[in-house]
Structure formats: structure tokens, C-alpha cells
Structure 1
Amino acid sequence: MRALGLDCDVLVVGGGIVGLATAYAVTRAAPGTRVTVLEKEPGPARHQTGRNSGVIHSGVYYRPGSLKARYAVGGAAEMVRFCAEYGVAHAVTGKLIVATGREELPRLHALAQRGRENGIAVRELGAAQIAEHEPEVRGLAALHVPTTGVCDFTGVARRLAEASGAEIRYGAHVERVDRRPSLGVAVRTTRGDVVRGRVLVNCAGLHCDELARLTGDDPEARIVPFRGEYYTLRRPELVRGLVYPVPDPAFPFLGVHLTRGIDDGVHIGPNAVPALAREGYGWGVVRPRDLGTTLAWPGAWRMARRHWRYGAGELRRSLSKAAFTDAVRRLLPAVEPEDLEPAAAGVRAQAVLRDGSLVDDFLIREGPRAVHVLNAPSPAATASLPIGREVARRALGALATA
């Protein structure tokens, strides 16, 4: 029985791809459930969803059995089907992961083993075979991953919003949450609107830890924003598809890679540098409150002490186009600095624990009448449909006992 005075049953905060996939999943699993989505921007997918490489990840990188591995492998195939059904631009291109130094060869082989454990039909290539796929790319060995692709994730988000049947309220910036066991959850926006629901779902991305605390739950982690900077390749003919370096297993970042997108242009990046605001898409964007929150978190300092050498390299590539070009030349020797044109940056919402550990898997936590998605960076866009179903399952479970 529906409680009187409530605007909806499930109140989702965040109109990125995960929030909209959750709304979509709720209405499919439980038709008739009233869902409202609050998004502070004037449209969907304005942050992590719309500011990434646009890659449908295969799941090759992730620890077998982890949520990332399970959801990315299944989610990649499901995302392709969704795009085909709803007319969203996409392509399954495959990609190369290329070792350019001998020290990377054991990691490349280990990655091949991991991919096979995750059920992905990877193929190991020698140096001569790399040129068959990418004539301008140089390396000692590579993995060919056939299930990787590209798509328009902003288009996916729009289709999810339409197909969900949920009420989507844009320009709704949450400033206060009042949760009471007998009355549900009331949210007030900066415009003074009050929206009441039985269960709240937190898909606020870059602000998810703040929203959890507003709700009264301890997220046990803080979002530390990392900006990823991209360039567009002025000579796109140098790259046929997707080319990645061998990643450092100590970090959740995949390194500077080459991506031919659905627009047929080639993006290069991202690097990963600390952002000075949660939506800090350039060095000139500084928000003292955001920066203070990061600096006040002990985990941020412990992370910095542990990984300062890695961070120094990323910072150098951010500040020096020549250094960035040198990094690209390890994969693509023909590139010149004048081939690289700055493109829009993105910010990754990376959850960091108190001990300085970077949360490596998707992190979903529950509280009374609330479900919080507290770590969902890449490959969350790829895995958004299975993530949405999992969050919806928990939200409907909370709804049944509310």
C-alpha cells in the first residue's frame, strides 16, 4: 500500500548512466513502481558518463569474480544489444593491448590469463602481427581483445531515461535529505522543492559520498577526483581502432590510450591528475570546499605518500605537451606534438579508503531506506545495465520492508 503524501516509491539522485539504468531496471522488474530521478544539470550524462573515452570495455582487466569482471563481461554484450535495439550509435571494433618494453611482457601474459579466466577469447600476438591490425603502432607483443567496442554513452543515457517511464527532474540540485523510518525520505533541492519517496537511491557520482553523509550514512570512503585530460589526433589515419598500453596493476587507471570513436575521430588519453574541484575540468577550476574535503581526508595523504612517483609522472604529462607526446610515441612513434589538439577533459570519481587504498571494485552499500553507489568509475558505463539491476534489486528489497 502506498503511503499518502509521497511523490514516488523510489527516488534516484543522479541522472548519469547508472542512475538512469537503475530507474530503467526498477520499472522493468516491478511495473507500476513510481520512480523519480533528480539531476542537478539541465540534461542527462553531463559528467562521468558524457566525458569518457566512449569505450565498451570487454572486462579483460578485472579480478575474476569481482563485480567489475562479472558486470563488464556481461554488460559489454548487453550494451551492444541495447544500442542495436534503441538505435544508439555503436561499433564492436576489438582492441590491442600493446607491450612496448620487456618488463611489460610478464604483465601482458598475466593479463591474457586473466582475460581467459573471465571468459574472454583474447589472442596473443607477436610484434609482426601488431602491424596487421595497426600498421603505425609499434610493440614487442600484444593482446587482441575482440569484444571491445565504442558507443555513444550519452545517447544510451537518453534512451534509458525515455524507456524507464520515470519522472526525470532536471535542474534539481539536492541540498538536504531528511530520512525518517515512518515517513520515508524527503529531499529538498536548492530551488526549494521538496520531493518525498519511500526509498532513496544515491547515484550521485562525484558527489555520492557527500549525499550519503547528508542521508545520515557513513560511506567509509571519500571521493578523490582525478582529472583525465585528452587530445584529439589531427591525423586520425594513423590509428585504425583502439590501442592501449599494458596497465600498471597497482592502479585502476588504464594509461594513455588511442581510441577511434563513433565519430571516426581519434582521442588520445587520459592521464590522471588530482582535480582541484569535484567538477574540476581544468587547472583553472578550483573550489575551496571540494579541495578542503579532499585534503581533510587522511586517506588522500596516505595515497599521495604511497604513489607520489606515479603521480609526478602524470602531473608532468599534464603540464607538458612534449612529455605527453613522448608517452604517446611509445605506442605510436609517428605522432608529433602538432598532431595533438586539446579536447574536453573528464573527472573520475575515485573512492579512497581511510588507509589510502583506492577502491578497486564497484562499491554499493545500503542503509535504512537507502542504497548508495559509492564507487562506479570506468567500466561503469559499460556495466551500467547489470549495475542498474543490482541496485534496483536492493532498492526493491528496501521498498518491500519500508
Structure 2
Amino acid sequence: MHYRSREVEQVRKIAYDCDVLVIGGGIVGLSTAYAITRAAPGTRVTVLEKEPGPARHQTGRNSGVIHSGIYYRPGSLKARFAVRGAAELVKFCAEYDIAHAVTGKLIVATEREELPRLHSLVQRGRENGIPVRELVTAQIAEYEPEVRGLAAIHVGTTGICDFVGVARRLAEASGAEIRYGARVLRIDRRASLGVAALTADGSVVRGRVLVNCAGLYCDEVARMTGDDPEMRIIPFRGEYYELARPELVRGLVYPVPDPAFPFLGVHLTRGIDGGVHVGPNAVPALAREGYAWGVVRPGETRLALTWPGSWRMARRHWRYGGGEVRRSLSRKAFTRAVRGLLPAVTENDLVPAASGVRAQAVLRDGTLVDDFLIREGDRAVHVLNAPSPAATASLPIGREVARRALTVLSGVPDRGGDAAGRPRRRNP
């Protein structure tokens, strides 16, 4: 009994820097901070981001599409959050004057064997409550005169936006303390004493609960806390080109995806700046921030190669992966893939653009995790798989992670104390 009293007294004397410590300043981490401070005013949130600004990786290196949710299994987190998130994101952008547009998009079947998959997407879209218009060959030209296909569907709720602008606004509106340039080196978690993160500049940040939104490094952060994430992030680079003749494409044009993979295939996307992105493909990256073949981090490559799931995934999907690598190394092969949708395109029309890296969670048995994956540990919530459409779904994802974090927080000592453990006055 005496020992327990001393332990409680020690907890009360800890100078916590915050109630919730969020690691990762991408759109999911910042949306979580935003959601926490709205759901529980007065809750102190600190966000640690290793880069000098927000949204420098997955959030800021994608095609900028607000996804409708048509691709995702009905009832899944992706389906529910994408459909809800798309509508909320448009309202958020309008409210805060962030560049965006609801453009709609075409999903086009160019081969006869794709027609059943296209029809399945129509059914899935309707199950997810998404308005879909089916098009025959002649009707495709109403939307995209240069695009060729056997059939297509038009999805009216798809759009585009400035996701980096959204992330910045979430950071500002959250009221959280955002520490940029704060790379986390070590985490000390104790059931009775909270969570402490040591950053590269020697600072120690203490919180009652940790939220792991570290994206490409989320599995490493989970292991730092002592939790086994039971997955490994395997990075896939998505390579883009810019279309030198943007007048060839009016809006957004996608192929019919292969349901065996979480990738949507090479598509055409007119962005908010008026340019047209072509891509991405999906090739294994040799570093978690491997934005080019020349970026190699041996330690990170070794982690990927020693994960049993990597080899099982490779054996299962080597043919698909081989095609992606071929298109990565040969602009001629990439051009052929694009010409299936856009026959007028030539090699000279494709100008190399910035690449992105997808943080893909892979299980030990080689399964590519298809849905968002959020797990809880002692004093911790880990977001372990949140690739596309996470940016679209960022507002509902943030609320879900915030709900879990606040539930965990409600069960730890001194829920309402200030930095010295004294009760805090709440906002009315």
C-alpha cells in the first residue's frame, strides 16, 4: 500500500508537456490534433514532425485527388471514411478558402476483359451511396474527346484540392503546439509515468498518451513504444510525369483497377494548377523516402528484405511487379500504358515530375493490408496503414483516432492536470 502511494505521488509530480503527444505532421496527424482539441477543449496536444514543415511526404506527394470512395469494400473504414471525408473536405476547403474543385472523373475500360470489373465498380459505387453514370463508347467523348475506351463510368463526386494547404490550415486551427524539425529518436513508455519522446536536438517531450501517425515510419515508432505492430511498412514509389500537352485531358481519367492490388494504375489527373499529372506506377523503393532509384538506405532495405511477408508478397505478385518495374525503367513502356487510355500521347509528351512513396503495410503472410489499420496499446494509439485515400478521408480518420486517444486518456492518472499535475480550469 505504501509503495502504491509513492507511485501515485510520483505521477502527480511529473511535469507533462501535453496530454496527447502526436508523432507525425502529415494530414492524418494534424487532423487528429484538430479533432482532439474540438472534441475536448482544453486538452493539450503537441505534434512532433521531423521535417521543417507539414505534409512533406505522402500528403504532399500525390495527385491531389479527392476520392469518391467508389473502389472500397462496402462497410470498410476506407469506404465509410472516404465517402464522408470527400464531402467534408470540400466544405472545409470552401470555408477556409483552400484551392479545390469538384471535377468528377471517368473510369474507362479499354479491354473487353475489364468490362465485368467495371460493372462491379458500378454496383460497389451504388452500395457506397455514390452517384454513378454508365457510359457507352460514344458517350466518353462528351467528357474527354481524346480518351478512347469500350465503356466507362462517370463519378461526379470526385474532385481535386491542395492537400498541403489543408494540412497547414488544420495545424493552425487545431491550437496544438507543432514542433517542426523534431525527429524522434527514442520513446520511453511506462504504464504509471506516461510517454516520453527524445528528439534529435536532445529535447524530451512528455505526454500522458501517444498517438503514432508517423506514416512511412509508423511501424518503427510502434516498436519504439514496445508494441509489436505485427506488420511492416514496405515502401512503394509512385513515379509521375507531367503532360506537355495538357489540353489533351480535361479532367480526371482512370483505368479499371485490378482488385488484387491496392494500386489504381496509371491515371491522368488535371490538378488545381492546370497541369496534368500522368501516373503513378508502383515500384519497390530502396528507402522509405526513396523518391528515386538512386536513393538507397541499406538499413531500411535490409528491414524490408528480412520481413517474411516481403518475399511471400513478391512470390504472389511478381508478374504484376515486373510490369511496374519495366514501366519505371522505360519511358517507351510507360507511354504504351498511357496510350491505352490516351492514344494521342507520345514519349515527348511525358515530362518527368516529382515522385511519391506509398507507406504500404504488409503482414507476415505477405498480405497487403487493404483497409486503414488503427491499433491501440498501453497509453498509445497507432495508425499503421493509412495510404490513399487517407488524405481524402483525413477529417473522419482524425475523429476516429481522436476518439480512441481520448478514451485511452480518460483511463490514465491526472487526466485534467496541468504541467505540474494540478487540476486545470476547463473552458466553459
TM-score range, shorter chain: over 0.9
Q: Secondary structure in 1 aligned to 2:73? A: coil
Q: Secondary structure in 2 aligned to 1:366? A: strand
**Post-superposition offset of 1:191:** 1.1
Q: Secondary structure in 1 aligned to 2:376? A: strand
* 332 and 234 in structure 1: CA distance in 2 versus 1, 3 angstrom threshold: same
Q: Deviations over 1:310-359 (max 9, x none)?
A: 00000000000000000000000000000000000000000000000000
1:177 equivalent to 2:177? Answer no
> What is the 5 A alignment of 1:246-257?
246-257=256-267
1:280 equivalent to 2:290? Answer yes
Structure 1 counterpart of 2:171, from 161, 186, 194: 161
In the alignment, the residues of structure 2 paired with residue 13 and residue 3 of structure 1 have an alpha-carbon distance, to the nearest angstrom, of 24
Structure 2 counterpart of 1:240, from 240, 246, 250: 250
Percent identical residues: 82
In the alignment, the residues of structure 1 paired with residue 246 and residue 359 of structure 2 have an alpha-carbon distance, to the nearest angstrom, of 30
Structure 1 counterpart of 2:84, from 74, 92, 113: 74
Q: Secondary structure in 1 aligned to 2:268? A: strand
Q: Which residue of 2 aligns with 1:111?
A: 121
* Structure 2: tracts of 5 or more residues without a match: 1-10, 413-428
In the alignment, the residues of structure 1 paired with residue 60 and residue 26 of structure 2 have an alpha-carbon distance, to the nearest angstrom, of 8
Q: Which residue of 1 aligns with 2:279?
A: 269
Q: In the alignment, residue 294 of structure 2 is paired with which amino acid? A: G
* Structure 1: tracts of 5 or more residues without a match: none
In the alignment, the residues of structure 2 paired with residue 32 and residue 18 of structure 1 have an alpha-carbon distance, to the nearest angstrom, of 21
**Is the 2:14–2:193 Cα contact (8 Å) retained in structure 1?**
no
**Post-superposition offset of 1:190:** 1.2
Structure 2 counterpart of 1:202, from 188, 201, 212: 212
1:304 equivalent to 2:306? Answer no
In the alignment, the residues of structure 1 paired with residue 297 and residue 199 of structure 2 have an alpha-carbon distance, to the nearest angstrom, of 20
**Post-superposition offset of 1:2:** 7.6
Higher-Rg member (1/2): 2
1:84 equivalent to 2:94? Answer yes
Q: In the alignment, residue 214 of structure 2 is paired with which amino acid? A: A
Q: Which residue of 2 aligns with 1:130?
A: 140
* 173 and 100 in structure 1: CA distance in 2 versus 1, 3 angstrom threshold: same
1:229 equivalent to 2:239? Answer yes
CA RMSD of superposed structures (Å): 0.8
Q: Which residue of 2 aligns with 1:290?
A: 300
Q: Deviations over 1:270-302 (max 9, x none)?
A: 000000000000000000011000001000000
Q: Secondary structure in 2 aligned to 1:317? A: helix
> What is the 5 A alignment of 1:24-63?
24-63=34-73
Q: In the alignment, residue 251 of structure 1 is paired with which amino acid? A: F
Structure 1 counterpart of 2:17, from 7, 10, 14: 7
Q: In the alignment, residue 22 of structure 1 is paired with which amino acid? A: T
> Runs (4+) of structure 1 moved beyond 2 Å?
1-4
In the alignment, the residues of structure 1 paired with residue 114 and residue 341 of structure 2 have an alpha-carbon distance, to the nearest angstrom, of 13
Structure 1 counterpart of 2:382, from 363, 368, 372: 372
Q: Secondary structure in 1 aligned to 2:304? A: helix
**Post-superposition offset of 1:4:** 3.8
Q: In the alignment, residue 338 of structure 1 is paired with which amino acid? A: N
Q: Deviations over 1:365-390 (max 9, x none)?
A: 00000000000000000000000000
1:121 equivalent to 2:138? Answer no
Q: Which residue of 2 aligns with 1:95?
A: 105
**Post-superposition offset of 1:97:** 0.1
What TM-score, normalized by structure 1, do the two folds share? Answer: 0.99
Q: Deviations over 1:48-102 (max 9, x none)?
A: 0000010000000000000000000000000000000111100000000000000
> What is the 5 A alignment of 1:344-383?
344-383=354-393
**Post-superposition offset of 1:3:** 6.5
Q: Which residue of 2 aligns with 1:316?
A: 326
Q: Which residue of 1 aligns with 2:200?
A: 190
Structure 1 counterpart of 2:399, from 381, 389, 392: 389
* Count of matched residue positions in the alignment of Structure 1 and Structure 2: 402
What TM-score, normalized by structure 2, do the two folds share? Answer: 0.93
Q: In the alignment, residue 79 of structure 1 is paired with which amino acid? A: L
* 32 and 276 in structure 1: CA distance in 2 versus 1, 3 angstrom threshold: same
Q: In the alignment, residue 240 of structure 1 is paired with which amino acid? A: R
In the alignment, the residues of structure 2 paired with residue 8 and residue 146 of structure 1 have an alpha-carbon distance, to the nearest angstrom, of 43
In the alignment, the residues of structure 1 paired with residue 178 and residue 46 of structure 2 have an alpha-carbon distance, to the nearest angstrom, of 6
In the alignment, the residues of structure 1 paired with residue 217 and residue 192 of structure 2 have an alpha-carbon distance, to the nearest angstrom, of 27
Q: Which residue of 1 aligns with 2:348?
A: 338
Q: Which residue of 2 aligns with 1:17?
A: 27
